[in-house]
Chain A
């Protein structure tokens, strides 16, 4: 909903993403914050001058978050807009990561070309698994895409051929990203790399869903029979959605490889796929801001709330335990708490806010604009 008193005088203005001064203000505000944040870390310009209130670990967390965000924006195109489920997003990221790693190190292609090539390769792999969407929907499609999640890591870890080296179960070491001869190997540089790519990818996705392509996707999600009778080639657009979604996974995977510098099949297992799906649902599938909210919430839970919860639990552990017992219990808390918490939050969201945080945010915005007449 638009705030009262905002009028458009032409359709271009009416269709723009940023409509009001408030929109511009927040965009500029967050852009400035995101861009200047690393300058205040230890390796930043201001950090070297002594103004360092941003810990290096925060940059690392945000970099990981940005990579996740790219992948989930892709998943949002598929699940949120086209209504096709995929449980293979981590496997597609794996294809992107390995392609980019192999292309840069073994084929000596510069990173700036290797990343798009890796993305397209991933897209094609995604397209192949998307072919299943011709015949099946919903749960059955989920099972069909689950095949990707099992086949791809298995294939990569058991490949022993000579054409490329994939490193089997141990994986590969990857060179840092190199753009125009500059090696991006500090937290700060990686942060900027991921930030720029994530912003570009987000804007591209945002544009896709507000033009012909996106409306065709949404039409398929909302009513595929009607879409077909109104001239949309449903199968083609479903496969295209799988392709695009995998391209996003490919870019995310490629970045991940060059940021982490080591990749192995274990890092892309089904838990990752399901977590990404969960983040999208919590954030709000089918909303442009959904992935952002989802990732932010996940990072908040994973990097802060879990430590907080663990400390509380450890504090209230009965003191009669021996040191050994206590240590074992702490270790099991460390392993068991993240999935337990994430699972419970997902369940809570599915019950109380099934359309996700982004939807709640829209309601809050609408209520704010209707004040003082709103009830929410």
Chain B
């Protein structure tokens, strides 16, 4: 049976002046899998993720998400389709609290604008239930939406075990926690495709294990498809369903962890000889 791919990166090429970051890269990500991109530094892994999320525009090739060509879609229109990402160098909203960071990501699910937001309407909570419902039917002040989305966000906070820091500005948090908040922010978008750019970089073993557990849980409980960049090959071999290996912007191998660990070119370029 052929499963239609969730994401199809169709022969993209991306260059910056003379540097060819990605050359003719082609791969497909099936729904529900954990797909890893590995390769040496400068191989074009992050450029690939950036092309998918819209930060870079590949000069050649197309990118299809759920069968839709998203290559020319503006960056901000990709998140509502179901693509979320984290960044290699944490890109949180540093002065907001962890909670607000997650709430900010609920943006695409919320509607309140200038007027409903500005009026907010705290007073409604003092009104009797029946009157409240009637007002709600006519006009939707921001307060309901805030509360509904707060429930979703609190669930994620619970899931990522960061309830104790929810009201702390993320700028004051430790590195590992910030990474976790960033993962939470991506989750708050309730994505179908989650792009994780080195989620475990710079972490100690314990933090890495926590993060791996979160990734597996997200995958199982939410059935999210995950594209992962990671340098820890052992970990990637453990959690990934399929792996693509890049070197100098080109694909040098693709397959299951077993296939990759036996691939001659991959061993030569990245993994190294056994016992060498």
Q: Do A and B come from one complex?
A: yes
User: Could you tell me the distance between the alpha carbons of A232 and B185 in the complex, rounded to whole angstroms?
Assistant: 14
CB-nearest residue of chain B to A201: B118
Q: Which of A8-16, A96-104, A299-307 contacts B (4 or more CB under 8 A)?
A: A8-16
Chain A residues in 8 Å Cβ range of B84: 230
User: Could you tell me the distance between the alpha carbons of A207 and B85 in the complex, rounded to whole angstroms?
Assistant: 29
Contacts A218-B96, A231-B189 given; indicate if A212 touches B110 (C-beta within 8 A): yes
User: Could you tell me the distance between the alpha carbons of A244 and B117 in the complex, rounded to whole angstroms?
Assistant: 13
Contacts A222-B93, A229-B79 given; indicate if A215 touches B107 (C-beta within 8 A): yes
Q: Is A17 located at the chain interface by the 8 A CB criterion?
A: yes
The answer to whether B150 and A15 touch across the interface, beta carbons within 8 angstroms, is yes
Q: How many A-B residue pairs have CB under 8 A?
A: 123
The answer to whether B93 and A226 touch across the interface, beta carbons within 8 angstroms, is yes
Chain A residues in 8 Å Cβ range of B147: 10-12, 15
The answer to whether B92 and A213 touch across the interface, beta carbons within 8 angstroms, is no
Number of residues of chain A lying within 8 A (CB) of chain B: 37
Q: Is B59 located at the chain interface by the 8 A CB criterion?
A: no
Question: Which residues in window 63-86 of B have CB below 8 A to A?
Answer: 74-80, 84-85
- For residue B2, give the distance in angstroms from its CB to the closest CB of chain A: 31
The answer to whether B117 and A212 touch across the interface, beta carbons within 8 angstroms, is yes
Question: Which residues in window 21-61 of B have CB below 8 A to A?
Answer: 53-55
User: Could you tell me the distance between the alpha carbons of A221 and B95 in the complex, rounded to whole angstroms?
Assistant: 9
Q: Is A322 located at the chain interface by the 8 A CB criterion?
A: no
The answer to whether A225 and B91 touch across the interface, beta carbons within 8 angstroms, is yes
- For residue A112, give the distance in angstroms from its CB to the closest CB of chain B: 19
CB-nearest residue of chain B to A12: B125
Chain A residues in 8 Å Cβ range of B120: 207, 210-211
Q: Is A331 located at the chain interface by the 8 A CB criterion?
A: no
The answer to whether A212 and B107 touch across the interface, beta carbons within 8 angstroms, is yes
- For residue B10, give the distance in angstroms from its CB to the closest CB of chain A: 21
Question: Which residues in window 76-99 of A have CB below 8 A to B?
Answer: none
Give which listed residue, B76, B146, B189, contacts A234 with CB less than 8 A.
B76
User: Could you tell me the distance between the alpha carbons of A215 and B104 in the complex, rounded to whole angstroms?
Assistant: 5
Main SS of the interface on chain A?
helix
- For residue B101, give the distance in angstroms from its CB to the closest CB of chain A: 9
CB-nearest residue of chain B to A355: B95
Q: Is B105 located at the chain interface by the 8 A CB criterion?
A: yes
User: Could you tell me the distance between the alpha carbons of A222 and B78 in the complex, rounded to whole angstroms?
Assistant: 21
Chain B residues in 8 Å Cβ range of A257: none
The answer to whether B117 and A211 touch across the interface, beta carbons within 8 angstroms, is yes
The answer to whether B103 and A215 touch across the interface, beta carbons within 8 angstroms, is yes
Chain B residues in 8 Å Cβ range of A240: 114
Binary contact readout A213-224 vs B (1 if CB under 8 angstroms, 0 otherwise): 111101101110
Question: Which residues in window 187-226 of A have CB below 8 A to B?
Answer: 204-205, 207-208, 210-216, 218-219, 221-223, 225-226
Q: Is A36 located at the chain interface by the 8 A CB criterion?
A: no
Question: Which residues in window 218-275 of A have CB below 8 A to B?
Answer: 218-219, 221-223, 225-234, 240, 244
CB-nearest residue of chain B to A226: B91
User: Could you tell me the distance between the alpha carbons of A223 and B171 in the complex, rounded to whole angstroms?
Assistant: 12
- For residue A193, give the distance in angstroms from its CB to the closest CB of chain B: 21
The answer to whether A15 and B85 touch across the interface, beta carbons within 8 angstroms, is no
Name the 7 nearest CB pairs between A and B, nearest first.
A231-B79, A211-B117, A222-B93, A207-B120, A226-B91, A215-B104, A231-B108
Can you name 16 A-B pairs with beta carbons within 8 Å? A207-B119, A211-B145, A212-B145, A215-B103, A221-B95, A222-B93, A223-B92, A223-B94, A227-B104, A229-B54, A230-B79, A230-B105, A231-B78, A231-B105, A231-B108, A240-B114
